[in-house]
A and B are shown apart, each in its own frame.
Chain A
Amino acid sequence: DADVTQTPRNRITKTGKRIMLECSQTKGHDRMYWYRQDPGLGLRLIYYSFDVKDINKGEISDGYSVSRQAQAKFSLSLESAIPNQTALYFCATSDPRQDTGELFFGEGSRLTVL
């Protein structure tokens, strides 16, 4: 089983619908992140959390919200989806005790908003 699991892996929805992407991890890492990836662009940070009581906006947080339900769970919500939120979304974790700051990514959630 994957250490960082995202659900759903694929989702097609309509404009205006509320969507939640879920992420759970078994790595025991405190730090969790949500990124989106679009063709021709680098990964862009949406939100990040350094522990259960810590939530921070990233580069492109508008139109998104998050919830850190537990150390192992970090959910991303689109309150009212719009077509330009069509993208591949990745959850990631990291361990601040690790010198490299390596990120461990989930398998991705492909979201299409019609």
Chain B
Amino acid sequence: GQNIDQPTEMTATEGAIVQINCTYQTSGFNGLFWYQQHAGEAPTFLSYNVLDGLEEKGRFSSFLSRSKGYSYLLLKELQMKDSASYLCAVMDSNYQLIWGAGTKLIIKP
């Protein structure tokens, strides 16, 4: 079966750095997405990786290793507004998105 694994919850301190991991087992691979979802709101797109390596976008970076079936989202200089759930999703060989359950990130002052 297809599976996306990510930690259920993480806690970090304002101003610090946090890494949210995602491992996947899917039928084929056509890209990996990270979305941010604040409580009670819609998911919003953060990043897309289709090739191995690191993609940096401001305070957020996303890394992909296709051979290991692994990605991480790195958040730097954490702010209170970064408290949210972070969803990892993989597009399989049929171009269908398989979603992880999300990682709830709690930022403490």
Contacts and interface: CB of A to CB of B under 8 A. Distances in A.
Contacts of B7: none
B99 A43 contact: yes
Interface in A73-114: 90, 99-108
Contacts of B12: none
A29 interface: no
Interface string B65-108: 00000000000000000000001010100011111111000000
Contacts of B45: 100, 102-104
A12 interface: no
Nearest to A44: B99
A interface majority secondary structure? loop
Given A42-B4, A45-B96, A100-B48, A107 B42 contact: yes
A42 B91 contact: no
A24 to B, nearest CB: 15
Contacts of A4: 42
Interface of A: 4, 40-45, 90, 99-108
26 contacts: A40-B101, A41-B101, A42-B98, A42-B100, A42-B101, A43-B43, A43-B87, A43-B89, A43-B97, A45-B96, A45-B97, A90-B42, A90-B43, A99-B48, A100-B33, A100-B45, A100-B48, A101-B31, A101-B33, A101-B91, A102-B45, A102-B48, A103-B35, A104-B45, A105-B42, A108-B40
